[in-house]
Chain A
Amino acid sequence: MNTSDQVLAIARKELTDRLRNRWVWTVSALLFLCTVVIALFGAAPVGVVGNKGAGAAMASLMNLVAYLVPLIALILGCGAIIDEKQRGTLDLILVYPLSPRAYFAGTFLGFTLALAIAVVVGFALSGLLLVFWVGVPAVEYLTLTALALLLGTAFLALSFFVSLLSRERGRAIASSVFLWIFAIFVFDLILVGILVLSGGKVPASLFGALLLANPADCFRILCFQWIGSAATPLGLASVAPAGLPAPLLLVILAFWVVVPVVASYWLFQRRVDRDALV
């Protein structure tokens, strides 16, 4: 039996499960709804409703992605692998002639595909409206979609690590919510606090490095650099030091996918070896 066939079989099973239980379509619908509402009514509090221009719409969408996609990815990955262990099917699969690596790779691939389909479908539907009616540049919208996928994959990888570390679904959900709040809200507040307390004396290089320690901030800075029509970049990206080239940021965001995946696999393998997965 070819290892790649086994990986694909597991990925297919994970994807099919999420298509069947309507997780993918529910998330797509949620993204579509939120995207359209944010783009059209995002400026309602200041009295502007409807088509308010591509820049404002893109800025609203960037913010929406930064909030919503990590949360969706973290929820998706909650219970990954440990659910199979508690169900008893993981032990059975591990007695099959396939390596833990193939199982892990197939599972992560399946979850990633489910997330990707949900994001792409949700964004594609609203994209038609935004490109043709609001006038959002198609290339920028596609860039935002691609960055949303990368950001989501990074948080999915983190959720795998959290799930394996938690050993139990309930704890994994609580830890994921904590991680989301920390990455999206608390982290930036801490950085702002440091800036204020130091009277702005934090070296730019250190500040830049600290921003890169959060994948959500990497995403924001990349959007700031690549999506020119966004008139109002939000979050700390606006005070990001110059000199952080986009390719480096992209590599670092990709790094945020690879490192948690490798760490999760290491933890999975170690716990399989020690028979201590849950």
Chain B
Amino acid sequence: MIRLEAVSKRYGEQVALRAIDLEIHRGEWLGLFGHNGSGKSTLLRLLLGLTRPTTGSLLIDGKAPSPAGWRRLRERIGFMPERIAFYDHLTGREILAYFGRLRGVGGERVAAVLEQVGLEAAADRRLAGYSKGMRQRLNLGQALLGDPEIIFADEPVEGLDPQGVRAFFDLLHAGRVETVVMSSHRLAECSHRVDRICVLNQGEVRALGSVEELSRDLHPPVHVHVYPSESANGSLQTTLTNLGATDVSMHQGAWVAEVAQGSKVAFLAGLAGCQPQIRHLHIEEPSLEELYFEHE
């Protein structure tokens, strides 16, 4: 649907994106993850046509977009910007009514969206009295006004509690939205909600694929926490190393053995022979957050 080919973006001397190759497929949910300054927002701005590549090309349905092409695309999309200060002196309803008029949407749709995002009770209150969560819901409501097929969202769950994050994704699922491109810092909470993740660092794509694919490809080590029993002797650390742990350290009363994914089964089988020395065992699979930091 939207394809970036060797796209780079510079702002003066500063390189925001380097040689990005990325295709967004119709119907997929794509998460852009990375730290501040990693290039997520610039990438979103490129995909929305708010900025142009310095080099490389952006194609929509296989063609370089004309102004009319952008306009056609924009009729199908909703956008949730990250840093937006809607008009504090207006009520939630007035704000949505204004953006609705820009989309050719009337008061009935505005009322329906206010109900959809759970703001009908606060609709006639001024925005100045809205909490951060309510502002985010209003932002989502604004993006949903045109009943879009595609949602671009820049840090949409920033500032939301876990319940709010779940509610946000539920709202997206409830609509007509087919394709979602969202950026976030909160990899752990969002990664399992998307089909693919794109990890950006210093303007480069460091990883692209589903969580399963990335886990498989990166072979991140597992950490096995071995709590020694009272009968354990001093040889347990050596035993863990001999069983294939690449690193063994003591942490809060447990030996923490770092074991490569490929050696995990053999390592655990070997531990069975040391059972009298082990009081408790805890296997810590790498979280996606750790995978993410692996890419830093």
Residues of A within 8 A of B (CB): 1-2, 5-6, 9-10, 13, 17, 20-21, 87-89, 91-99, 273-275
Binary interface encoding of chain B residues 79-97 relative to chain A, with 1 for a CB under 8 A from any of its CBs, else 0: 1011111110100000000
A1-B102 contact in complex given A92-B81, A96-B74, C-beta closer than 8 Å: yes
Q: Which of A2, A13, A21, A87 contacts B84 (CB 8 A)?
A: A87
Q: Which of B52, B71, B83 contacts A88 (CB 8 A)?
A: B83
A selection of 11 A-B contacts at a CB cut-off of 8 Å is: A2-B104, A9-B101, A88-B81, A89-B84, A91-B81, A92-B84, A95-B152, A96-B103, A99-B67, A275-B45, A275-B50
Contact indicator B50/A9 (Cβ below 8 Å): no
Q: Which residues of B are found within 8 Å of A10, using beta-carbon distances?
A: 102
Q: Which residues of B are found within 8 Å of A20, using beta-carbon distances?
A: 89
Contact indicator A89/B51 (Cβ below 8 Å): no
Contact indicator A91/B101 (Cβ below 8 Å): no
Q: Which residues of A are found within 8 Å of B84, using beta-carbon distances?
A: 87-89, 92
Whole-angstrom distance between the alpha carbons of A1 and B99 in the complex? 12
Minimum distance in angstroms from A91 CB to a CB of chain B = 6
- Size class of B's contact patch? 20 to 34
Contact indicator B79/A92 (Cβ below 8 Å): yes
Whole-angstrom distance between the alpha carbons of A13 and B90 in the complex? 10
Contact indicator A273/B85 (Cβ below 8 Å): no
Minimum distance in angstroms from A266 CB to a CB of chain B = 16
Contact indicator A95/B51 (Cβ below 8 Å): no
Minimum distance in angstroms from A80 CB to a CB of chain B = 15
Whole-angstrom distance between the alpha carbons of A95 and B247 in the complex? 51
A87-B51 contact in complex given A95-B74, A96-B102, A98-B102, C-beta closer than 8 Å: no
Contact indicator B79/A5 (Cβ below 8 Å): no
Contact indicator B86/A95 (Cβ below 8 Å): no
Contact indicator A97/B101 (Cβ below 8 Å): no
Whole-angstrom distance between the alpha carbons of A20 and B210 in the complex? 50
Closest 8 CB pairs of A and B: A1-B104, A275-B51, A9-B101, A88-B84, A97-B74, A95-B79, A97-B75, A87-B85
Whole-angstrom distance between the alpha carbons of A98 and B67 in the complex? 10
Q: Which residues of B are found within 8 Å of A92, using beta-carbon distances?
A: 79, 81, 84, 99, 142
Minimum distance in angstroms from A90 CB to a CB of chain B = 10
Whole-angstrom distance between the alpha carbons of A108 and B21 in the complex? 40
Minimum distance in angstroms from B86 CB to a CB of chain A = 7
Contact indicator A9/B85 (Cβ below 8 Å): no
CB contacts under 8 Å to A, within B58-90, are 67, 71, 74-75, 77, 79, 81-87, 89
